[in-house]
Structure formats: C-alpha cells, structure tokens
Chain A
Amino acid sequence: MSARMWPRKCVLAIMAGALLVVSGQSFYDQRHMQEPVVLGSGVTSVKKLSDYEPSLRGTINDCNLYVLEGKEPGGAVFVFGGTHAEEPAGRLAAWLLVEHAELDRGRLIVALSANRSASTVTRPSAAYPPSYTIPTAWGGQTFRMGDRWTNPLDQWPDPEVFIHYPSGQYLAYVDVRNLNRTFPGRPNGTLTERTTFGFMELIRRERIDVAIDLHEAELQYPVISTIVTHQKGQEFATMVSMTLTDLEGFKIGTEFSPLNLHGLSHREIGDYSNAVSLLFEAPEPFLDATRGKSNADVLLSGQDEFVIKAGKHGLLFEKMDEKGWPIAVRVGRHTSSVAQTLQTWSEDNPARAVVARSIPRYADLVRNGVGYYLRNPAKSPSARLAYE
C-alpha cells in the first residue's frame, strides 16, 4: 500500500468514527437515561423487585416498587405500568399515583417500569423517537420511549417457538421477551420470566387483593377501551366499568380473560395468586400499523391523518376523529379507572379496603394536561427523589 493512501484513509476513518460516536451516543443515552420521580407525601418506602426475586439484583429489571401505606390497616392493591414500554400512558398514570396519591387505609404498591429493559430500546426499523417530553410550567420532563419487548441486549437469542411455562402453550417466538406473555414466570428462567416471577412473589407475599396492569392498544385491535378481567373479578370489573362510564364521561367496557390464552397478567396472576387481576387498555393511535410519522408529536397528540382516515372508513374498533387521543385523555382514563377500582373494591370489601385520595382524575387531566401534575425534581429534596 502506498504512503499517499494514508491521509485519505485517516480522513475516512475519522468520519466513520464521528458517525459511530453520534449513533452510539444516542443508543447509550436512551439506555442510561435517568428519569427523576418526585416521591409524593403518600410514599412511605421504596423497595426493589429483587427483594422478591433475588436473582434480579443488579440487573436492569430490578425496578423500583413504590409503597404507599395508610395509617389504618386494610387491603393491598398493586398497580404496574411499563409492562409494554411503548405504551406511555400506563407509565405516566402510575407516575402520577406515586407523585400524588395519599392513602388513608391499606397499601398501594406501584411499579413504573415493570419491564425496565424494554424501556431502554425502541422497535428496530420503526423509527420510534428515543424519548418524548411532557411540557410543564417548569420546562418539561423527558421520558424514555421504549419497546414492547425486553431489550435483546439483556435477553437473546429468541427460540424458534416460545413455549410458555408452565402451560406448555406455543406462542410467537418474540413473545419470549414479552412481559405480558411470560407470567407467572420462574426463578430459573429468562430475564423476562424471572421478572414476572418477582411480581408474582410480590403479589403472594404482600397479600395483594387486586393487581392492575396498565396498557395502551392500537385502534385496529379489538381489545381496546376496556378492562380485561380474570373470572374472579367479573362482577367487580363490570361494576367499575359501569360506574366509570356513568360518572367520568368516557366509555370503558369489560372483557373476560380467555381461559386458554396463557402468559398474560389477567390470566396468570388470577390463576397463581389470590389476587383479582385486571388489565386496563386505553387507545394509542401511534401503535396502529397504518399510521404515518412515528414521532413524539403523534405519540403525545394521538392525531394521525391515516388513522383518522381509517376511522372514517369504519376500520377501527374505537372512534377516531381530528381530535385524536391526546396523552392527557389516555392517562386520565387510567388514573380514573384506578381510583374507581379502589373505591369499588373498598365498598365491596370493607375489611380489606384501600382508601386513597388526591389522585388526579380524567376531568382534571383533560382540563389541565399531564404536565400540570408532574412535580419539579429540581425543587424536591434529594431524599424524596427516585430514579427510573
């Protein structure tokens, strides 16, 4: 090789190095970004999932568990967002519970990032934004945008077919990394299975009465704007949905968890613990396959011209017009649904009541937006901050 080639090679190598740094920095930032959570006055302690499944200690899925305990004894409810990290309303609704809810009776345990690994990656080739910012009076708070599945950096390779444990049911290969297909999990399984096993242990040891899994769904999917319930909670969930539809100003239905569809929280938590398991679905047009741009604006506004057109042609399972489905509406549906669940549960089970207050509800969020309820971490003492 002649010496005159070296200057050119050096220049090209530096350019490739710059490309490497820029792209690598973006991936690094998404994986290592710290999201501050201001602990509301209702939070009495913060535990880790590894307290219930020790093999998770030091792993990316050793998520925070926020405990809100009332002065009077009662029952216990577990709410978890971030099962699917590409469904931000679930995480944000849980976030508002941690920053605002106060308990008078019983205990409320909340996880914001049930599959934390999934929140550190976005869907390959889908051009998802790596993060999104909720505007607030103090500037704005940025959150990681995630994926439906555990990051392949943490669990790989996938099998040809995923055989669910313990049912033996065959599921899609990629769902071996889907937190909502790996319940009830096992302590010697994959990272995702150990995570769900940790949640099952939490539910069993803390004598959880009701477990609530917060989700969002595309409008082309029939299970939307609904509460999916284990058969143990059919009457209870129906009462919650009827009350919400009657009092809160939004429609929400009830669906029963199929007996033979395994791995989902609403099936396995009910089968393998004493808890009633519920799963809430809110509409998220960003997830629809026929959407146009996949940017943070569409994610938060819930407005997409192609999904609107699909709605006008009657191709969706939920109404869709120019108003879209803004994030405040989706988060408000979840917070009101959680609040109503606590209320109905407490009325039906006074000995195991969980009485909470100060939860922002649907009308509050629609009126004020999500950012209004996010607390400024810069003005919070460090002892009252946690990081996701």
Chain B
Amino acid sequence: MILLQSIITVAYYGLVAFATAMLVQSFVHAKSWDREVLYLIVLVPFVLRLLRLK
C-alpha cells in the first residue's frame, strides 16, 4: 500500500504540473480579459498544491 501511495502521489504531482503548464499557456494565449482572469483564478490552487502548501 505504501508503494502504491508513493506511485499515485508522484503521478498526481506530475498531472498537477502538466495542468499548471497548460493553464499558463492558455493564459498567455487568451485574447479576452475574462478568460485571462478565469485561467489565473483556476491556476492559484494548482500552484499552492505544487508548492506543497495545501
């Protein structure tokens, strides 16, 4: 179980990093301000998780 937990945790953080990168890319390419705000708000919990703050 411990090994499985470790594998899932690593995979999870990999997914979070991927989603973060996609959100940043979407923010950079967004053309309207409301989309930009949306991407940034969604980005905050992903970054907090990547930094292992929450």
Residues of B close to A157: CB separation below 8 A: 5, 8-9, 12
In the complex, A189→B4 CA distance in Å?
12
In the complex, A155→B4 CA distance in Å?
12
Which among A8, A13, A19, A27 is the interface contact of B53 at CB below 8 angstroms? A27
In the complex, A19→B44 CA distance in Å?
8
- Taking a contact as CB atoms under 8 Å apart, the answer to whether A190 and B44 are in contact is no
Name which of B1, B27, B54 has the most chain A CB atoms within 10 A of its CB.
B54
Q: Within 8 Å of chain A (Cβ to Cβ): is B37?
A: yes
Contact residues of A between 163 and 193, Cβ < 8 Å to B: 188-190
Known interface pairs A1-B28, A1-B29. Does A189 touch B51 (Cβ–Cβ under 8 Å)?
no
Known interface pairs A16-B43, A20-B44, A190-B2. Does A8 touch B33 (Cβ–Cβ under 8 Å)?
yes
Known interface pairs A12-B33, A157-B5, A190-B2. Does A24 touch B41 (Cβ–Cβ under 8 Å)?
no
Contact residues of A between 21 and 38, Cβ < 8 Å to B: 23-24, 27-28, 31
- Taking a contact as CB atoms under 8 Å apart, the answer to whether B36 and A1 are in contact is no
Q: Within 8 Å of chain B (Cβ to Cβ): is A383?
A: no
- Taking a contact as CB atoms under 8 Å apart, the answer to whether B33 and A23 are in contact is no
Q: Within 8 Å of chain A (Cβ to Cβ): is B22?
A: no
Known interface pairs A28-B53, A156-B5, A190-B1. Does A9 touch B47 (Cβ–Cβ under 8 Å)?
no
Nearest neighbor of A15 in chain B, beta-carbon distance: B40
In the complex, A19→B51 CA distance in Å?
15
Contact residues of A between 50 and 95, Cβ < 8 Å to B: none
- Taking a contact as CB atoms under 8 Å apart, the answer to whether B31 and A5 are in contact is yes
Interface residues on B, range: 20 to 34
Which among B28, B41, B51, B52 is the interface contact of A16 at CB below 8 angstroms? B41
Known interface pairs A9-B27, A13-B40. Does A189 touch B2 (Cβ–Cβ under 8 Å)?
yes
In the complex, A51→B52 CA distance in Å?
28
Contact residues of B between 9 and 54, Cβ < 8 Å to A: 9, 12, 27-29, 31, 33, 36-37, 40-41, 43-44, 47-48, 51-54
17 example contacts (A-B, Cβ-Cβ < 8 A) are as follows A1-B28, A9-B36, A16-B44, A20-B44, A20-B47, A20-B48, A24-B48, A24-B51, A24-B53, A27-B48, A27-B53, A27-B54, A31-B53, A157-B8, A157-B12, A188-B2, A190-B1
* A contact residues vs B (CB 8 Å cutoff): 1, 5, 8-9, 12-13, 15-16, 19-20, 23-24, 27-28, 31, 153, 155-157, 159, 188-190
Given contacts A8-B33, A16-B43, A28-B53, 12 further A-B contacts (CB under 8 A): A1-B29, A5-B31, A9-B27, A12-B33, A15-B40, A23-B54, A153-B54, A157-B5, A157-B12, A159-B1, A188-B2, A189-B2
